A and B are shown apart, each in its own frame.
Chain A
Amino acid sequence: MLQIENLTKTYTSGNRSLTVLKNVSFSVEDSSTVAIVGPSGSGKSTLLGLCAGLDQPTSGKVVLEGINLSVLSEDERADVRNRNIGFVFQNFQLLPTLTAIENVMVPAELRGERGVYDRAFSLLEKTGLADRIHHYPSQLSGGEQQRVALARAFINKPKILFADEPTGNLDDDTSSGITDLLFNLNRDSGTTLILVTHDLELAGLTERILRLRSGEVISDTVNAPSVYNNGEKGYPA
């Protein structure tokens, strides 16, 4: 369960201030899928960052799995993230000095867990990279890197997965592969998915769509994810 209440974010630099998010409120049920869509610069990433506790809001609060993030310190929020959240980024963001499987293991290792190799391996197997586990990110294509990132996102069995433009840096064919994988893994593990995208086609695959413009939620619609299931690709109203 993720609850957002009256979230406002204002950036001030010098004497100019810019309000990027204005009074945003919504909540997301466990195991549901939500897309946040909007044009570039509308505040999607900012919102995602606040939801995941990467940054502090100017006002309002974020309650994640019953924990109020606004009162936690940076390090306490890191801990909450490690336990509850998975991330998929637009630029994959794999650690360049680690091999594929090591990248996948990092979140679990950060918990102090040991013996996570097998778990990481089976996740990589699911993403179809069983034979590439010892390769470095620089030896993998973009699509392959994003698969590793997906495996990494699921290693800690997160309650919520945040995906920021997961296909934004990929070509169409690769994109659909990643999309399939993302939704399949998500369904299998019953994770809540919050997907940020400006791609309405991708957004159409979720159960609910939040539209953002200039930092304000302008619509919140329930969507029939059947669009994905019957293979039609249309833009929901």
Chain B
Amino acid sequence: MKPLDMFIWSLKMSGRELRSNYSKLLLFVSSIIFGVAALVSITSFGDNLNKAIYDQSKSLLGADITLQAREPFNDELLALTDSLGGEQAEEVRFGSMVFLPKTGDSRLSQIRAMRGNFPFYGSIDVVPADALNRYQNENMALVDESLQLQYNVQPGDSIRIGTRDYLIGGIVRGVPGETAAQGVIGPRVFIPLETVLGSALLQRGSQVTYLTHIMNPDLNTEGNFRDKLRPVLERNRARIETVESRRASLGRSFRNLTGFLNLVGFIALLLGGVGVASSIHVYIKQSKKSISVLRCLGAKLPAILFLYTCLSLIMGLTGAVLGILLGGALQTLIPAVVQDFIPVDVSTVLSLRAVAYGLVVGLIVTLLFVWLPLAGIRDISPLAAIRSSYEPATGGKTNLLRLFVVVLLVAFILAFARMQTGDWIQSLFFTGTIGLILALLSLMAVLIVFLIRKYFPNGWSYVWRQGLANLFRPNNQTRMLIMTIGFGTFLLAVLYLSQRVLLDEIRIFGTSGQANTVLFDVQSDQAGPVADLIREEGLPLIEVAPVVTMRIESINGRTYQSLRQDTTGRSSRWALQREYRATYRDTLNASETITAGAWEGIYRNDGSPVPVSFETGIAENLNVSVGDTIVFDLQGVTVETLVASLREVDWQNPTPNFFLVFPNGVLEPAPQFMVILTRTDSRETSARFQQQIVQNFPNISIIDLDMVLATADSILSKVTFVVQFMALFSVFTGIIVLIGAVITSRFQRMKESILLKTLGASRQKVTRIMAIEYTLLGFLAAITGTALSVATTWLLALYFFEAPFRPDLLPLLLLVFIVIGLTVGIGMFSSRSFYSQPALDIIRSEEV
């Protein structure tokens, strides 16, 4: 047969096969629908997101260039800004309490003191719209919508920041380049810059950022523009952002998100692949006779392989197309779900790339998985047409074709993972885990069969013995069912468990009867009066910690400058550049454990370097260890220190935790402020307390941890929702695969059950034998899958999330029961037909 003839013949035969078997092949098609849908919807969303970031990138920054520093621009920076020309706007950004006289509430807010026409690109969405042009001249404030929602303030009401009152000129609905979520964490309040310059709000010690926004379309900010400015900026510890850098960093962070979601979707597709493989496996098994007859009639092996490949591709294509349609519909919903934490408007047009991607990946998965069972066609001898009682002797040869397909499959999974994560190690981990889990499941199946045979309970009742024996009789599906059901259970459990790990990490925080109110920026002289006020209110004074800000001057004699230029980059830049907020005390607190060196709580003031303690993570970033010397710059004064110890810090503990701790006896005279912790037990006490503080000490910021947690929770639950949504595709696919696997095995058992019935076994007995078999299979698969998932998540938690793992047994138990229930339920349901059918019909219906 010429290739073209072969193709035409295969198409013709596929059509004939489909015509009479479409119901059997329906499972095949549905196996890949959900996986493809997941991939298509996520990819399309990712594409649209990227496009939006690209299209809207100027308004993401609002300017062509933004320079920022932690101190007012010095002469060198001012000269630099001047040289950049164009139109400029200034901004000073800081956190401060905003007091609302109307309700008596106060709320820690992000204050943006502005001068100039920022944003130059895009526009702040304000109601009423003209307020944007007026607020700077009329000394009004624009406040975030979240403040309005929370306290029902309106334009015309007044707010107090520091000691000054402002009329609310308008409500801010959106800021270009920022997400709604950013506003929830701390409501944004825009005020004129003139009103804060020189006020106590900007004094040393508070976290203030000075920005200059520049609009100069003539500047070419691409290429090495930033590199050329870097020396000046680094010298002055300033940062620059351009449209390009903002676009790139946004793109990076969202690529992680879509990459992760794509992996979750891919798992659904892989699971579907297992379904495809098992449905084709059965199909081939049932078509064995037909295949050997075709070979008798002179069909060559390539023709037959081609025929079944064609058939699979037709179904794969059908599944992929349906998946694309479903995915196309779903991707229109995603932007609405995630809009709170993406800074751009994402369109819902189905991207062509996503369609092509879904189609190609769907078809590749189909082909690869289909070829696993197809490789077995080689072993079907034409002899089977004249003799059925003998299994063809394959002579134990390894099927090279199958081996080749397995290698391709592994390579494909690896390549896909690499594409999504951009990291070989993670991809290897992903692929290796899948391979290992399948191998372990397969091993488990073999072991179980071995054990049952070896210790067969001959004393058990007939029904039990039959049910057990079914697990190892010829034509048993034990391995296949344990692998498919086990793998499905495994995936679902891992998704569930790792999600719990991530959520728990956040929830643990703040649940206990610990501090929930943190007072920042308390001046040294305010510490006493604030403590008094806390006691007067009847609140506990949980902790008072002094904070001194400092920067790194040199490490082991090498200056900050030279360390930064060191391109081998042994110390991370941000760790070198950041401002350290250190505390001093003579004891460790409960959330700290020394991991290296020894804790020293008192400095003897003998001129030797001051022994300090670093948190392990930051020490790693700085590449310092016990014995290294570091010189700090404390606002003009230098202090030589020696790394005396490294501490592990439990960050979930809401006592103020510090990267850097000094002993008592050094920092006491340095300029400093205090952090004070207390606990309020009701909304009312909290509001009253905050009001007292804000009125008496306007410079103090209060963080209400309960509120922070509630907001974090609401944002997280949206992220979780998206992840769960993707995981749901795996659930659907898992159920389809389960149905497929069980229906598959049903064909094997059907004849035997009918024979038993014919030989006089009551219907009830036959049912019970089957129920026992399916229960055992479901149980073994679910238990193995779940156990493996616990182990995997534990490893993930340990090495990847770096979070504690406390598996919740109840939901896992529930999962096991659901899987068993589904297995038995589907098994019994799909077998019900042969009770109603006369036994003879089924015995005669040969092709089983």
Tell me if A172 is interfacial: C-beta within 8 Å of chain B: no
Verify B385–A98 contact, CB threshold 8 A.
no
Verify B2–A112 contact, CB threshold 8 A.
yes
In the complex, A49→B388 CA distance in Å?
13
Verify B298–A164 contact, CB threshold 8 A.
no
Tell me if B296 is interfacial: C-beta within 8 Å of chain A: yes
From known contacts A54-B381, A109-B9, A164-B386, infer whether A13 and B300 are also in contact, taking CB-CB under 8 Å: no
Verify A106–B385 contact, CB threshold 8 A.
no
Tell me how far the C-beta of A121 lies from the nearest C-beta in chain B, rounded to whole angstroms: 17
Q: Residue A95 contacts which of B2, B293, B300 (CB distance < 8 angstroms)?
A: B293
Tell me if A125 is interfacial: C-beta within 8 Å of chain B: no
B387 proximity list for chain A (CB < 8 A) = 45, 49
Verify B289–A93 contact, CB threshold 8 A.
yes
Tell me if B434 is interfacial: C-beta within 8 Å of chain A: no
B21 proximity list for chain A (CB < 8 A) = 97
Most buried by B among A13, A95, A164: A95
Verify B9–A110 contact, CB threshold 8 A.
yes
Tell me if A228 is interfacial: C-beta within 8 Å of chain B: no
Verify B382–A54 contact, CB threshold 8 A.
yes
Q: Residue A107 contacts which of B5, B297, B303, B393 (CB distance < 8 angstroms)?
A: B297
B385 proximity list for chain A (CB < 8 A) = 54, 87, 89, 93
Verify A112–B1 contact, CB threshold 8 A.
yes
Tell me how far the C-beta of A215 lies from the nearest C-beta in chain B, rounded to whole angstroms: 15
Instruction: Write the chain B residue with the least CB distance to A53.
Output: B382
Q: Residue A111 contacts which of B1, B386, B847 (CB distance < 8 angstroms)?
A: B1
Verify B297–A106 contact, CB threshold 8 A.
yes
B303 proximity list for chain A (CB < 8 A) = 110
Verify A81–B297 contact, CB threshold 8 A.
yes
Tell me how far the C-beta of A148 lies from the nearest C-beta in chain B, rounded to whole angstroms: 13
Residues of chain B at interface, number, CB under 8 A: 35
List residues 102-132 of chain A with CB under 8 A from any CB of chain B: 102, 106-107, 109-112
Verify A78–B295 contact, CB threshold 8 A.
yes
Tell me if B353 is interfacial: C-beta within 8 Å of chain A: no
From known contacts A97-B20, A112-B1, infer whether A55 and B297 are also in contact, taking CB-CB under 8 Å: no
A-contact 0/1 string along B268-301, CB 8 Å cutoff: 0000000000000000000001100111111111
Tell me if A65 is interfacial: C-beta within 8 Å of chain B: no
Tell me if A75 is interfacial: C-beta within 8 Å of chain B: yes
Verify A55–B293 contact, CB threshold 8 A.
no
In the complex, A109→B297 CA distance in Å?
11
Verify A78–B299 contact, CB threshold 8 A.
yes
Tell me how far the C-beta of B577 lies from the nearest C-beta in chain A, rounded to whole angstroms: 71
B302 proximity list for chain A (CB < 8 A) = 75
Tell me how far the C-beta of A97 lies from the nearest C-beta in chain B, rounded to whole angstroms: 5
In the complex, A48→B382 CA distance in Å?
12
From known contacts A45-B387, A96-B847, A97-B16, infer whether A55 and B295 are also in contact, taking CB-CB under 8 Å: no
Tell me if A83 is interfacial: C-beta within 8 Å of chain B: yes
Tell me how far the C-beta of B222 lies from the nearest C-beta in chain A, rounded to whole angstroms: 61
Q: Residue B290 contacts which of A45, A49, A97, A164 (CB distance < 8 angstroms)?
A: A97
A-contact 0/1 string along B290-332, CB 8 Å cutoff: 1001111111111100000000000000000000000000000
Tell me if B227 is interfacial: C-beta within 8 Å of chain A: no
Tell me how far the C-beta of A103 lies from the nearest C-beta in chain B, rounded to whole angstroms: 10
Verify B386–A45 contact, CB threshold 8 A.
yes
From known contacts A52-B296, A75-B301, A79-B298, infer whether A97 and B17 are also in contact, taking CB-CB under 8 Å: yes
In the complex, A55→B383 CA distance in Å?
7
Tell me if A30 is interfacial: C-beta within 8 Å of chain B: no
In the complex, A57→B386 CA distance in Å?
16
Tell me if A214 is interfacial: C-beta within 8 Å of chain B: no
Tell me if B454 is interfacial: C-beta within 8 Å of chain A: no
B-contact 0/1 string along A68-92, CB 8 Å cutoff: 0000001100111111010101110
A75 proximity list for chain B (CB < 8 A) = 300-302
In the complex, A81→B385 CA distance in Å?
14
Verify A49–B386 contact, CB threshold 8 A.
yes
Verify A54–B294 contact, CB threshold 8 A.
no
Tell me if B12 is interfacial: C-beta within 8 Å of chain A: yes
Instruction: Write the chain A residue with the least CB distance to B21.
Output: A97
Most buried by B among A54, A55, A89, A138: A54
Instruction: Write the chain A residue with the least CB distance to B293.
Output: A93
Tell me if B19 is interfacial: C-beta within 8 Å of chain A: yes
B-contact 0/1 string along A188-226, CB 8 Å cutoff: 000000000000000000000000000000000000000
Tell me if B130 is interfacial: C-beta within 8 Å of chain A: no
Tell me if B536 is interfacial: C-beta within 8 Å of chain A: no
A107 proximity list for chain B (CB < 8 A) = 297-298
Instruction: Write the chain A residue with the least CB distance to B392.
Output: A55
Verify B5–A78 contact, CB threshold 8 A.
no
Tell me how far the C-beta of A79 lies from the nearest C-beta in chain B, rounded to whole angstroms: 6
Verify A112–B5 contact, CB threshold 8 A.
yes
Tell me if B75 is interfacial: C-beta within 8 Å of chain A: no
Verify B16–A82 contact, CB threshold 8 A.
no
Verify B386–A54 contact, CB threshold 8 A.
yes
B381 proximity list for chain A (CB < 8 A) = 54-55
Verify A74–B301 contact, CB threshold 8 A.
yes
A96 proximity list for chain B (CB < 8 A) = 20, 290, 847
In the complex, A91→B301 CA distance in Å?
23
Most buried by B among A48, A52, A80, A136: A52
In the complex, A81→B19 CA distance in Å?
28
B20 proximity list for chain A (CB < 8 A) = 96-97, 136
B12 proximity list for chain A (CB < 8 A) = 109
Tell me if B846 is interfacial: C-beta within 8 Å of chain A: yes
A79 proximity list for chain B (CB < 8 A) = 298, 300
List residues 20-77 of chain B with CB under 8 A from any CB of chain A: 20-21
In the complex, A6→B774 CA distance in Å?
53
Instruction: Write the chain A residue with the least CB distance to B1.
Output: A112
B388 proximity list for chain A (CB < 8 A) = 91
From known contacts A49-B386, A97-B17, infer whether A13 and B2 are also in contact, taking CB-CB under 8 Å: no
Tell me how far the C-beta of B171 lies from the nearest C-beta in chain A, rounded to whole angstroms: 69
From known contacts A109-B9, A109-B12, infer whether A54 and B383 are also in contact, taking CB-CB under 8 Å: yes
Verify B297–A13 contact, CB threshold 8 A.
no
Tell me how far the C-beta of B543 lies from the nearest C-beta in chain A, rounded to whole angstroms: 78
- Pick 25 A–B contacts, CB within 8 A, sort by A: A13-B393, A45-B386, A49-B383, A54-B296, A54-B381, A54-B383, A55-B381, A55-B383, A75-B301, A75-B302, A78-B382, A79-B298, A79-B300, A81-B298, A82-B299, A89-B293, A93-B289, A95-B290, A97-B17, A97-B20, A106-B294, A107-B297, A107-B298, A109-B12, A111-B298
**7 other contacts beyond A75-B300, A75-B301, A81-B297, with CB at 8 A cut-off?**
A89-B293, A93-B293, A95-B290, A95-B293, A96-B290, A96-B847, A106-B294
Closest CB pairs A-B (n = 5) = A82-B298, A112-B5, A75-B300, A81-B298, A54-B382
